[in-house]
Structure 1
Amino acid sequence: MKKRIVSWLLFAILLVGFTNGTSAEQAVETTTEAAVDSQTSFTDVKIDHWAKGDIERAIGKGYVAGYPGGLFKPDQPIKRDEFIKMVVTALGLPIETGIGAWYEPYVKVAKENTLYATSDFANNDKEWNTNITRQELARIAVRATGASTNEDDKWMYLATKTGLITGLGKGELGKDKTTTRAQSVTIIERILSVKDGGTLPVDKYAVGSAEIAWHGTNIFTVMPEIYVTDEKDYAGKTIEELWRQDLMVLETKDGNYKGVLEALIAIDLEDPNDPNLKLLPPVSELKWSYGSGVIDGVPIDQAPVTKSMNSYLLYFKGKEIFNKDPNRYGSDILGPSAMLSGMQWNNKDDFYKGILNRPTLVYHHKENDLNVTIVPKSGWIQGEKKLKIQILTNNKVAAGYKLNVLLEVKGPKYGE
């Protein structure tokens, strides 16, 4: 008789769950998870599991629980409603239970505390019962620490820069990939650490990839000591916001030429694991010219890049969209021409001896077959000139010349 009463009671609980927008699977998992919320060790979380410590801390804090049979299911994808409940609970935000789907009180509190906005996705059962992506995870995590942005592409950058999110290896962000229970508790533990004033380790490759995805360059991640300026020059902003992504499309006033710089990618030659090295030919095959003599497009005086590894490569990844007047504008499948200004050699004679002491172009087989510049980390001077990054048309005649300044900063040696 007692078993029959328990069975009918469980049936009634599940029935109420279904009428309030909860699936059978969610109802069972919510019920069974609650039944083992005091469990602290799990057969599917081995002693060497990468998230074991975070899982144990999360269990101890009470914002997540395990499943019957001693399971935590660390690799199980987590849904949006499950994650928002975990975050709201972990942050200690008070909720009021009421009529409706089980997740609705948590969503209400999440909206009130700017963790969720209806512009993220629609507030309905179907959307909340969807697996959460890493991009969505990043957005909630950043908001939970008190930061915000109006640029959707910037959430992952803010999350990686503070260490809330790390990459999947070699700079891969996996923004559209789903998130597991183990990953979720790890992110929440990082949120709590930041809110307590902690500093998290950062995956620099993920930050660089996220910066490119945000505004088309990673120079502020890879070479921050070069492109610097006085704080007053970006009052109310961050230095990264000085980059003019809106000017990366170059179009002449006469409407006859249009090109685009898709990305400016900085590569650290001293880092053999730099994930963007794969975008170029092997470094051992790259060269730069220190003379003016050329035979069949090949410079006579050439130096291997491998002798100047204390440098950065700047890869101007671009393309030509159209050129309706090739008599006026030179065509190049690599896109607009690029120019760095402000860095000068400290000794011209040294440069012509093959000593790299200022930025110069890099080539593979022949001159101009790459849109890449090598920038030595030291050995150059600046004087009273600011550092500029520009793209421009390759004009055959003076009329119609177009130049866009993408960045202008004082740099580290301004006034020296």
Structure 2
Amino acid sequence: MDVGEIVAELGRYLGPDAEELSLPPAAFTSPELWQAEQERVFGRSWVLVAHADELAETGAYVALSVAGEPVVVVRGEDGALRGMSPVCRHRLMPVVEEGSGRTDVFTCPYHLWRYGLDGRLVGATHMKRNPAFDPSACRLPPFAVEEWQGFVFVNLDVNAEPLGPHLRRIGGDLANYRLPELTQVAGWTEEWHCNWKIAVENAHENYHVMGFHPETLQPTTPGGAETTVRSDSPWADSMRVRYATPLEPMVLDLTEEERAHLYGFFVFPSGSLAASGDMVIWLSLIPSALDRTTVRGGVLMPSAMIEGQDREAVRKEAEAYAAVINGEDRRGLEAVQRGAVSRFAERGHLSPKEPGVLLFYRSLAHALLREDDDGPGRPE
């Protein structure tokens, strides 16, 4: 199946009588589709990359790959967050390795060119005798960055439409969770050997819990639990799953419905939040290659819950639990990726417990088929 046929099949999800089928297996293995996604999905969509607590200090940065494109987001001397390409303007060397940290200046390790936190060149060794070189015109290319209720998004399209207005309904749903007041107590970055869509479609349903998480999540959020979804736009949707037993939060003043449900919120293409009692977990499933996905995430809690506690012990406990859940997903999804290359792989019928998967497919189809000035991240 070539890329044109794959995209045509995706387009069927946008029709009123779309069949409830999984993606064609080739959608997870096609280099041509991956190239189209790099440009049409990740080249112009808002990607969740961090929580503001990771970037609280001047010079704090997060560096990563977004669909193969190197990106760094840093807190500037003026307090503003900035996104930029970390590729040196001299000879293509990244000025910072992937990861997180703090710096006063980005120094290229190749020839020691230096860039300020705003991306402007502040020093270039032995360049004064090149009359064609104008240091004032040299800077790292900027990307769009937006912080929404503590979550940091980046868009490779510097002229992208603001994200916030499209998340107003989600913001209202999460009002009682007091997102801006929450503290990140734990975080992680992992690499999974699977196509990003395999990971994202998995996040859009709770049905898999009975298979992947029989002892960890199935007792509290059963895979067969009542599940409802809502689409706000092609780039924002939500899912609500009923708990086996309602939670009793210690700090947050939640409604009866909020105590009785796990709330999942998704920002296309790769970001998600899960609100559960006194805890909110964020997760972003960001492709680095056709069959590689970087998994970034964190656990947020009200400050009152950790007052007087050993913060390091809280962090280790939260990260250990997340590692168990993530490990269960990773092992399962990497097996799915191996299955996708089988000569006998074919599309399957979706369960009524997987309505969120269809919402993701529709967003993906919309992103690949939309005009350049329409859709997620661009003015309508």
Scaled by the length of structure 2, what TM-score is found?
Answer: 0.27
Whichever of the two has the greater Rg, that structure is 1
Higher strand share: 2
Q: TM-score, normalised by structure 1?
A: 0.25
Structure of higher RCO (CA pairs closer than 8 Å, 6+ residues apart) = 2
